[in-house]
């Protein structure tokens, strides 16, 4: 479908150009001139102004919840210093309004210039559009357009009707302020907002000139496959190297890696609400990830989302309720031939709350294929910079926190997925609709434990398996055997494999 119903813009029938509704355009223009013109110098006044813009934009649900009003007022009145408020209302807010106002021009430039000039033969392939479930594809956006998309989200200007039909997550920021009203989450929510405002401060002062790609990857089994387990049960691929890291973070690796986002089905999860776990934290230190929510509906079991080129703007400390903004991050990563930062992030969602059923072959296969889909490389998108196939995978306790996944089995499944090297359509799997081979090609896996005591045996187990020269099929077969016997024992996989 076209993007018009998903944007706060209207399509001019004569020119076929997406433009701001005149009422919203006037309101943003006033806001861009500062508080002397807009009369917006408090959180309550800003929320009222946002609601008025939503009315002018013709939204049926223009009014926002009372808790959003309460939260925005609380943030600027009590939770941040007075000089922060003066700087926000005096200079940053007007700059953000100007950035949002540029959305129409930037979308037009995206269609007519930034993508078509660079990639004339792939315009349809890379152009801004919805990427619905079941359809592989990629969207390539400038960082400036991404910043404008996010500024419109701060002003809560995205209509919800069409988004709900497509299972698209919300892109409006008001629930962030609602989270401030919950005293148990007030501090983490406050620091998430500070991270996002810090991002806006940086891009409003100097807009980055790079590009970002957002890709939906779809892994589908051919209909005639009689036994979905046979692909893994017949693979003679050797297992790749695995290095267990007790210190450090996935995003802090100093080697070229594919960084795993422990995602929810919808990209970003609760980033624009009360959530503050691994995915949400990654999205507020790399806020450009959030823009994918505009056009990427929830992932299905055989899908992953890979985003290349986002910039890191914020340092942080803590996790969940202890999360805190810790200052500016200077992202010195190089750019590839497409102008993307050499940051490759893949979102894969684990099974939520699988309990004992997670040891069944069918559920292990789901997790294995999900990780494999995320780790695959499509040859037609290779470009300058470091080779994608030379990138290892940086991951950790995927789906093992609140989702309740088993650390030991999930680490083995991710190892299997990273180890499987190359396949083609004739070998039962398909990614994209062409004849080009697929390749995982991951030479190593970095596993960050975050000092979780349940992963202390991982390196010893992995080293033993590598010494035995097991292949993918051998490790997979042992996991299947363990799963079958799980109902008779509660011993973990590591102790079952190598009893002390």
**Is 261 a known active-site residue?**
yes
Of residues 251, 259, 261, 349, which has the active-site annotation? 261
3-state secondary structure the chain: CCCHHHCCCEECCCCCCEECCHHHHHHHHHHHCCHHHHCCCCHHHHHHHHHHHHHHCCCCCCCCCHHHHHHHHHHHHHHCCHHHHHHHHHHHHHHHHHHHHCHHHHHHHHHHHHCCCCCHHHHHHHCCCCCCCCCCEEEEEEHHHHHHHHHHHHCCCCCCHHHHHCCCCCCCCHHHHHHHHCCCCHHHHHHHHHHHHHHHHHHHHCCCCCEEEEEEEEEEECCCCCCCCHHHHCCCCECCEEEEECCCCHHHCCCCEEEEEEECCCCCCCCCCCCCCHHHHHHHHCHHHHHHHHCCCCCCCCEEEEEECCCCCEEEECCHHHCEEEEECCCCCCECCCCEECCEEEEEECCCCCHHHHHCHHHHHHHHHHHHHHHCEEHHHCCCCCCHHHCEEEEECCCCCCCCCCHHHHHHHHHHHHHCCEECHHHCEEECCCCCCEECCCCEEEEECCCCHHHCCHHHHHHHHHHCCCEHHHHHHHHHHHHHHHHHCCCCHHHHHCCC
Residues 6+ apart with CB under 8 A from 142: 106, 110, 114, 209, 210, 211, 212
Task: Give residue for tokens 């008779």.
Answer: 488
- CA distances, 120 to each of 125, 126, 127, 432 (Å): 10, 10, 11, 20
Of residues 279, 306, 336, 349, which has the active-site annotation? 279
Of residues 170, 215, 280, 288, which has the active-site annotation? 280
- CA distances, 406 to each of 69, 88, 398, 409, 485 (Å): 41, 45, 9, 6, 15
Helix axes 22-32, 43-56, angle to 10 degrees: 160
**Is 280 a known active-site residue?**
yes
CA distance 9 to 158: 9
Task: Give residue for tokens 């187990």.
Answer: 461
State both tokens at 315: 């340092």
Residues classed as catalytic: 261, 279-280
């Amino acid at each position: 479908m076209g993007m018009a119903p998903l944007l706060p813009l209207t399509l001019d029938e004569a020119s076929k150009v997406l433009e701001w509704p005149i009422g919203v355009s006037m309101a943003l223009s006033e806001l861009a001139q500062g508080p002397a013109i807009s009369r917006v110098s408090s959180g309550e006044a800003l929320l009222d102004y946002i609601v008025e813009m939503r009315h002018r934009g013709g939204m049926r649900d223009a009014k926002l919840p009372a808790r959003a009003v309460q939260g925005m007022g609380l943030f600027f009145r009590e939770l941040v210093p007075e000089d922060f408020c003066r700087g926000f209302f005096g200079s940053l807010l007007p700059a953000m309004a100007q950035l949002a106002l540029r959305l129409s021009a930037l979308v037009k430039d995206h269609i007519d210039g930034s993508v078509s000039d660079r990639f004339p033969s792939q315009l349809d392939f890379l152009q801004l559009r919805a990427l619905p479930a079941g359809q592989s594809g990629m969207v390539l956006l400038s960082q400036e357009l991404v910043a404008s998309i996010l500024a419109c989200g701060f002003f809560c200007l995205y209509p919800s009707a069409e988004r709900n039909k497509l299972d698209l997550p919300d892109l409006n920021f008001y629930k962030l302020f609602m989270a401030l009203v919950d005293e148990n989450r007030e501090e983490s929510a406050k620091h998430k907002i500070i991270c996002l405002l810090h991002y806006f401060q940086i891009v409003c002062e100097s807009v980055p000139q790079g590009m970002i790609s957002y890709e939906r990857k779809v892994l589908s089994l051919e209909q005639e496959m009689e036994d979905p387990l046979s692909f893994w049960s017949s693979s003679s691929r050797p297992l790749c190297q695995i290095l267990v890291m007790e210190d450090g973070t996935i995003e802090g690796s100093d080697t070229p890696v594919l960084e795993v986002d422990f995602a929810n089905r919808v990209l970003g999860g609760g980033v624009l609400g009360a959530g503050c776990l691994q995915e949400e934290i990654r999205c507020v230190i790399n806020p450009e990830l959030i823009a994918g929510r505009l056009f990427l509906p929830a992932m299905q079991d055989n899908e992953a989302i890979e985003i290349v080129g986002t910039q890191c703007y914020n340092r942080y400390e803590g996790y969940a309720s202890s999360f805190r903004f810790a200052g500016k991050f200077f992202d010195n990563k190089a750019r590839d031939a497409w102008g993307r930062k050499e940051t490759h992030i893949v979102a894969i969602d684990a099974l939520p709350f699988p309990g004992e059923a997670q040891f069944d072959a069918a559920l292990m296969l789901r997790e294995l294929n999900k990780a494999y889909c995320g780790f695959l490389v499509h040859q037609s998108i290779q470009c300058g910079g470091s080779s994608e196939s030379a990138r290892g995978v940086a991951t950790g306790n995927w789906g093992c926190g609140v989702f309740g996944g088993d650390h030991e089995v999930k680490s083995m499944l991710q190892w299997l997925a990273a180890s499987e090297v190359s396949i083609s359509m004739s070998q039962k799997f398909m990614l994209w609709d062409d004849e080009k081979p697929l390749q995982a090609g991951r030479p190593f896996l970095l596993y960050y434990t975050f000092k979780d005591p349940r992963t202390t045996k991982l390196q010893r187990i992995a080293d033993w398996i590598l010494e035995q020269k097991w292949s993918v099929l051998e490790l997979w077969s042992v996991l299947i055997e363990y799963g079958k016997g799980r109902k008779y024992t509660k011993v973990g996989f590591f102790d079952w494999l190598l009893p002390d």
